[in-house]
Structure 1
Amino acid sequence: MQSTGREQPAPMQEAGPVDHEAILERYEGATRRLAGIVGQAVGLLAAAMSAYHLWAALAYLPAHQMRAIHLGFGLMLIFLLYPATSRGSRHRIPWHDVLLALVAAASMAYIVLHYREVAYRIVRPTSTDLAWGAMAVLLVLEASRRTSGLALPLVGIAAIAYAFLGPHLPGLWQHRGYSVNRLMGQLYLSLEGLFGVPLGVSATFIVLFTLYGAVLDASGAGRFFVDLARSAAGGRRSGAARSVVLASFLLGGPSGSGVATAVTVGAVAWPLLRRAGYTPETAGAVLAAGGIGAVISPPILGAASFLIAEILQISYLEVLKFAVIPTLLYYLSIMVMIEIDARRLGVQSVQTAARPLRELLWRQGYHLSSLVVIVIFLMMGFTATYAVIWSIVVAFLLSFLSRESWLTPARLYRALQEGARSVLTVVATTAVAGILVGVVNLTGLGLKFAGIIVGLAGGNLILTLVLAALILLVLGLALPITASYIVGAVTVAPALVQAGVPEPAAHMFIFYYSILSEVSPPTALSCFAVSAITGGNPFKTMWKTWRYALPAFLVPFMFALDPRGMALLLEGPPIEVGLALLTAVLGVGALAAGAGGRALSDTAWYERAALVAAGLLLTYPAPWADAAGLALGLAALGVQRWRMALAGRGAPRYTAEGKPG
């Protein structure tokens, strides 16, 4: 069976240059590398997909037609590019995959041509409707298996089985059951199944933002961001690790993938980290944590962020606003941990071969516009669709400021191809998610599941959030981030809202915990991927990454535990937002110092425990918790200062474990 991206092979040993593309294929699925006329034909199809979406964004097409064409392009390319098994040919397309691609195109063409008529046959589909619908559902499940592994299609199959077996299920899970005709009408003929909101978001937003990332990469932005980070490392001993975090932040938007960002940066930064004195496991933890930060960072968040905007019926700018403070807190924690580890591990500053920072900014600094141009267009009142289209135009025009970054017709053509290829996994994922959403809406499963969670928690909000987090982390062990979010949005979000969590906070909570699956045991995809570069132990890398990513696990609780926590999503009066930010910064700093074992100097065990407790209290959105956390944190620092003063007069020093040394 094809690699699912969730297996745990032994890490590759470091030997010569790192082939980061091979590592990405190993963990995110391998595609065919086609040459000759066949390769050109498939490349033309991919470019046509991107060109179609640029045209469709400016034209008007009925939702059913637009989404069917989007899915048709996606399914065809998946069957042509993704082998059925890991042993399948990588250099030719077997006849049966060509046949599947043609059948997929025909099943979508049927909807495009008859979308008006089928809208009246949702409850009573014809035999022709049923035949094409059954083929479409099966093809979507197979496409998902090829791109994301077996787990997601199994979830889709389980949802279909649930719709059929309702009368035979026990207790709360029971429902009246649905016939093949009713279910297929829901999944294929309506806009509440395959062609529902998830696929609609993929067709209107995600594909365009993916294309924008491809255009930026083709213009040399990715290379510039890595060079900029290396040049900005400075002479500090922590410079190498700081450059990793900066590069991850800059690359995260164009790539849209935590794993891809970590591997891309790691291929360049690992030699630098090794020369500075970082162990393979610590270096891998910095890379993995930076990659996750890239996906939660504005201006381009992960694909699930567009679904949040659509589900909550808010603008994408609002979602970006929600993410600002959590992103700042996350990077603050990583930087504090890097400074602590730089002293604890005794790493050294290193010199890089990158161009001087001033020269780099003078020659190619225009690439930094990608961090703000989308936000500017959104603030001017543009929709997300028009904002990204105009951002693509700006990126194209700015590329001509430097001869080496010109977007020539050949480069632009490759960018169109790459944009389509990069969105294929999302196309299959959102189509299968549509099956799940369709069944949930038909059977009322979401409310039943919410009732079970609330019942298990006994009405306790903290326990409800803990259960929700555990469910999302378990889902993330097998499902891609986007699928994990969608499943959580239809099953877990109602439980959080019932427990009193504001709806925006509930969906942002689900969004963050869906992303954190990439660094969560036992799979921790990002950690295994970077361990293939560093040669470190992936499990040790995993636990070290948890230490770096700790605030990302706690920040969602900050804004979900109490309505006052919404200030961390920039909701509320400026004074409340400022106070919430201040206490959160102090809390994250205390947590990082406690977890890292160093504040003013190496901490004793009781100082470490006090700092962690202070951090947890400061992150709880309540005045009494803030006061208690501040007092405990100051007491811990006061004790440490007193102990340092004693040590300076000959008293024994303590190690990070609290032992004399």
Structure 2
Amino acid sequence: MTEHQHQAERAQLSADIDAAALRKAEDYIEQEEGAANRLKGWLAAFVTLVAVAMSAYHLYSAYTIVPAQTLRATHLAFVLFLCFLVFPVARRFRHRIMWWDWIAALASIAVAYYLIQGGDDLTDRNTTPLPWDIFFGVILIVLVLEAMRRTSGWIMPIICAAFLAYALGGPWLPAPWTHKGYEVGRLIGVMYMTLEGIFGVALDVSSTLIILFTIFGAFLQYSGAGKFYLDFSFSAMGGKPTGAGRTVVLASFLLGGPSGSGVATTVTLGSVAYPMLQKVGYEKNAAGGLLSAGGLGAIISPPVLGAAAFLIAEFLKISYLDVLLMAVIPTVLFYFALFLMVEIDARKYGMHEAVFEQVDSVWNLTRKYWFHFLSLISIVVFMLWGFSPVMSVFWATVVSLATSFVRRDTALIPYDIFRGGGTGRKLARSPLVKALEGGSIGVLNVAATCAGAGIIVGVVTLTGLGLKFSSIVIDYAGGSLLLTAVFTALVVWIVGLAVPVTASYIICAVIAAPALIKLGVPEYAAHMFIFYYAVLSEVSPPTALSPFAAAAITGGDPYRTTLQCWKYTVPAFLLPFMFVLDPAGYGLLLMGSTKALATADWWLIAEVTVTAAIGIAALAAGFQGWALRRASRIERTLLIVAGFALAYPTRMADLVGIALVMAVLAVQYLWPQPQTA
């Protein structure tokens, strides 16, 4: 066999391995978003038509007024109808639609139609429902549980069923969980016939903000924005030893807007960036940890954040702009931690320079595709102009559509669509139709989860479980705010092990947040605390989907990759404690709103931000074992202690932390050679 044949064989083997890794990574995306059918022929065309109609309806509802009861019911009907056609009942029935799928899909329409045509009369009799009301309500609950099972697995339906059992079996429960109990009719009245249960806050946000942001993300994706952000990051960071890691950090931030998913960002980035990380010297698990940490950043980064961020605005009755404002400093500090880790990696692992093929220079890329940045920042601009979040994302989507025509290769409707025959067929295959379809399909798993979360919220509201649970937590903590925060973080983390970020936030917002609020923590700080710990579910076994997906791409060990991801993210995740333990820490959230910011103490905000940054740097150096040089065990311990001290926003703790950091740096500067522990 010739050398040329050997090279061709090796290239083919490498391609096969890469393809297998991507397929495995896509399996993790399916675990988060459901294992979808790949339909053909008229079935595929029908699903596309329904999905496009769903996106068009929600864009219309953003521009005009649709009554809440009608909008939420129609939204859920679309979601359930598509869930039963797109996601199979079991893997062995994939890529086809069975007769029972059609029955479930049609039942979804019937349930929504009965609710809408019932009008105010149906809502008014929620305390004394008719037999038909109970029948359709039970059907809806079963359909929602099954839709959640198909899109995200068994855990969430089991949790919802447990809450329903709690509502029904109150008198037979042991103290302090006992309550009077509720009959099926009363439960159905709340869940189905009011805007307090399934059609409550979570589904309201899903039917307005979340669906519109997924449509906006799809428009960015199909207009080539995602590819541009990757190319821009590669070109901007160059071939220096830290360039590979910096590229991952920058690209993860830019890609977070179009994808809106930590796992999807990890896979998109990993498939392109891993060869570059490998080339400069990252070992498999460290590379996977960095990729998944970057994917995690996509969920907490403005201007889109994750779906749970929209729920924060609705729960707190504040504008989405205020939520974005609260996320600014924590996001900057999160990426500051990642950049520090990358800098330390380059020195710790002795990484070398590498030459990468650059698609184009930064200047040329920006000159050609500048309008993709315009699409991304337009949301915030519209909000600053006074538009509501719904109208802001609507007009941002219009901007994305309009600016896509700046270049032929990014146009969502091809330039030559009206030339020659087959205009309808060309339009059906256009990026615009794919974007409208992708926007609807992309929201299904989140929307189904929001509907299921409505069951939980309804039970908690009906039984008073939230206040009961908060009292129990405070009693266990002995009234200590620090212990209450620790217990709350553990509760959120444990819940997050089993369910996605959105569900984890909703559950804990109604059962755990009251404990912090009762001890004097402002509502906005308590909810942001829970949001950040809910995000940990993306990197926590047994559902550490982002690290597992990264490991599939790099060929690393999934659990070692998860530990590496924790190493990259742990310093930043101490931040939530800073904005609940002391009033000074509220400065990290810019005091919670634009109104409060107008009279804020800017010196206090600057002080707490700087001390947080120093604390993060100390933790990064401590966990990595490297500051000015390799750190001894004593130095690592002192740095970690300093980081924890600086994470506690009091003057004395800050002074202790800064003194420890300066002591370690002085020792390393005066004695450059590693000291024995």
Same fold (TM over 0.5): yes
Matched, 1:563 2:567: no
The match for 1:116 is 120
1:296-311 superposed matches below 5 A: 296-311=300-315
Q: What is the DSSP-based 3-state SS (H/G/I as helix, E as strand, rest coil) of the residue aligned with 1:216?
A: helix
Would you say the 8 A contact 2:26–2:549 is kept in 1?
no
* 1:172 aligned partner: 176
Give 3-state SS (helix, strand or coil) of 2:370's partner.
Answer: helix
The separation in 1 between residues aligned to 2:29 and 2:293, in whole angstroms, is: 20
| Secondary structure of 2:371 counterpart | helix
| Equivalent of 2:432 in 412, 437, 450 | 412
Q: For 2:571, what is the secondary structure of its paired residue?
A: helix
Corresponding letter in the other structure for 2:439: G
Equivalent positions of 1:194-233 (< 5 A) are 194-233=198-237
2:18–2:553 CA contact under 8 A, matched in 1: no
CA distance in 2, matches of 1:402, 1:620: 51
Question: Contact conserved, 2:28 with 2:548, CA < 8 A, in 1?
Answer: no
Report the counterpart of residue 516 of structure 2 in structure 1.
496
Secondary structure in structure 2 of the residue aligned to 1:173: coil
Contact kept in structure 2, 1:43 and 1:417, CA below 8 Å: yes
Distance in 2 of aligned mates of 1:352 and 1:23: 29
- The separation in 2 between residues aligned to 1:349 and 1:524, in whole angstroms, is 32
Partners of 1:26 and 1:397 lie apart in 2 by: 32
Distance 2:605 2:668 in 1: 31
SS in 2 for 1:176: coil
Partners of 2:564 and 2:637 in 1: how far apart? 18
Match of 1:591 in 2: 619
- Please state whether the residue corresponding to 1:278 is helix, strand or coil: coil
> What is the one-letter code of the residue matched to 1:15?
I
**Alignment-derived partner of residue 618 in structure 1:** 646
Which position in structure 2 is the counterpart of 1:634? 662
Q: Deviations over 1:544-564 (max 9, x none)?
A: 111100123201001111111
Segments of 5+ residues of structure 2 without an aligned counterpart are 1-13, 414-426, 592-599
Who is 2:102 aligned against? 98
Deviations 1:133-164 (A, max 9, x none): 11011000000010111111111111111111
Aligned pairs (5 A) from 1:105-504: 105-353=109-357, 354-408=359-413, 409=427, 410-504=430-524
Per the alignment, residue 46 of structure 1 pairs with: 51
Shift of 1:71: 0.1
Query: 1:546-557 alignment to 2 at 5 Å?
Result: 546-557=566-577
CA shift in 2, pair 1:523/1:140, >3 Å: closer
SS of 1:245's equivalent in the other structure is helix
Is the contact between residue 572 and residue 616 of structure 2 (CA under 8 Å) also seen in structure 1? no
Deviation at 1:635, TM superposition (A): 0.9
Structure 1 contact 568–580 (Cα < 8 Å) conserved: yes
Q: CA deviation at 1:422?
A: 0.4
Contact 2:379 2:392 in 1 (8 A): yes
Shift of 1:250: 0.5
Q: How big is the alpha-carbon RMSD for the aligned residues of Structure 1 and Structure 2? A: 1.5
Q: CA deviation at 1:253?
A: 1.4
Q: Residue 14 of structure 1: CA displacement?
A: 7.9
Picking from 581, 597, 609, the partner of 1:581 is: 609
Which portions of structure 1, spanning 4 or more consecutive aligned residues, are displaced by more than 4 angstroms? none
Distance 2:553 2:314 in 1: 38
Residue pair 1:13, 1:534 contacting (<8 A) in 2 also: no
Matched, 1:505 2:505: no
For 2:57, give the aligned amino acid: Y
Runs (5+) with no aligned partner, structure 1: 1-11, 648-652
The separation in 2 between residues aligned to 1:631 and 1:364, in whole angstroms, is: 48
Q: 2:40 aligns with which of 35, 42, 55?
A: 35
| Match of residue 630, structure 2, among 586, 599, 602 | 602
Find the residue that maps to 2:295 and give its secondary structure.
helix
Displacement after TM superposition at 1:25 (Å): 4.4
d(CA) in 2 for partners of 1:301, 1:368: 17
Residues 452-474 of structure 1 show CA distances to partners (whole Å, capped at 9, x for unaligned) of 11111111111111111111111
Partner letter of residue 526 of structure 1?
S
Q: Distance in 2 between matches of 1:463 and 1:512?
A: 18
1:493 alignment partner AA: A
Separation in structure 1 between the aligned mates of residue 93 and residue 18 of structure 2, nearest angstrom: 28
**How far apart are 1:521 and its partner, in Å?**
3.4
CA–CA separation in structure 2 for the residues paired with 1:315 and 1:513 = 22
Amino acid of the residue matched to residue 611 of structure 1? L
- TM-aligned CA deviation for residue 478 of structure 1: 0.8
The residue that corresponds to 1:532 in the other structure is 552
Partner of 1:16: 18
Residue 650 (structure 1) aligns with:
none
Alignment deviations for residues 511-558 of structure 1 (CA, whole Å, 9 cap, x no partner): 000011111234322111111111001111111111100123201001
Amino acid of the residue matched to residue 387 of structure 1? S
In terms of mean alpha carbon deviation, does 351-360 or 181-190 score higher?
351-360
Offset of residue 24 of structure 1: 4.5
**CA distance, structure 2, for counterparts of residue 26 and residue 311 of structure 1:** 29
CA contact (8 A) 1:123 1:182 kept: yes
Match of 2:79 in 1: 74
Give the letter for the 1:161 counterpart. Answer: A
Contact 2:29 2:545 in 1 (8 A): no
Q: Distance in 2 between matches of 1:14 and 1:272?
A: 19
| d(CA) in 2 for partners of 1:404, 1:573 | 49
Judge conservation of contact 1:502–1:563 (CA < 8 Å) in 2.
no
Stretch of structure 1 that moved more, 583-592 or 420-429: 583-592
CA contact (8 A) 2:509 2:530 kept: yes
Q: Which residue identity is paired with 2:412?
A: L
Q: What is the aligned partner in structure 2 of residue 8 from structure 1? A: none
Give the C-alpha shift of residue 357 in structure 1. 1.5
Q: Is the 8 A contact 1:24 1:263 kept in 2?
A: no
Aligned to 2:91: 86
Q: CA deviation at 1:171?
A: 0.8
**What amino acid maps onto 2:167 in structure 1?**
A
TM-score, normalized by length of structure 1? 0.94
Q: 2:596 corresponds to which residue?
A: none
Shift in Å at residue 569 of structure 1?
Answer: 0.4
Change (3 A) 1:368 1:451: same
Matched letter for residue 379 of structure 1: L
2:368 counterpart letter in structure 1 = R
Question: How far apart, in 2, do the equivalents of 1:30 and 1:590 lie?
Answer: 42
Normalising by structure 2, report the TM-score. Answer: 0.92
Contact 2:296/2:535 (<8 A) preserved: yes
Amino acid across the alignment from 1:624: M
Deviations 1:365-400 (A, max 9, x none): 221123321111111110000100110111111111
Question: How many pairs are equivalent?
Answer: 637
CA distance in 1, matches of 2:239, 2:445: 41
AA aligned to 1:485 is Y
Question: Hey, what's the Cα distance between the residues in 2 that align with 1:13 and 1:504?
Answer: 49
* Counterpart-to-counterpart distance in 2, 1:58 and 1:523: 38
Q: Distance in 2 between matches of 1:150 and 1:182?
A: 26
What are the superposed Cα offsets for residues 331-365 of structure 1, whole Å, 9 maximum, x if unpaired? Answer: 01111111111111122222222222211111112
Question: What SS is found at the alignment partner of 2:18?
Answer: coil
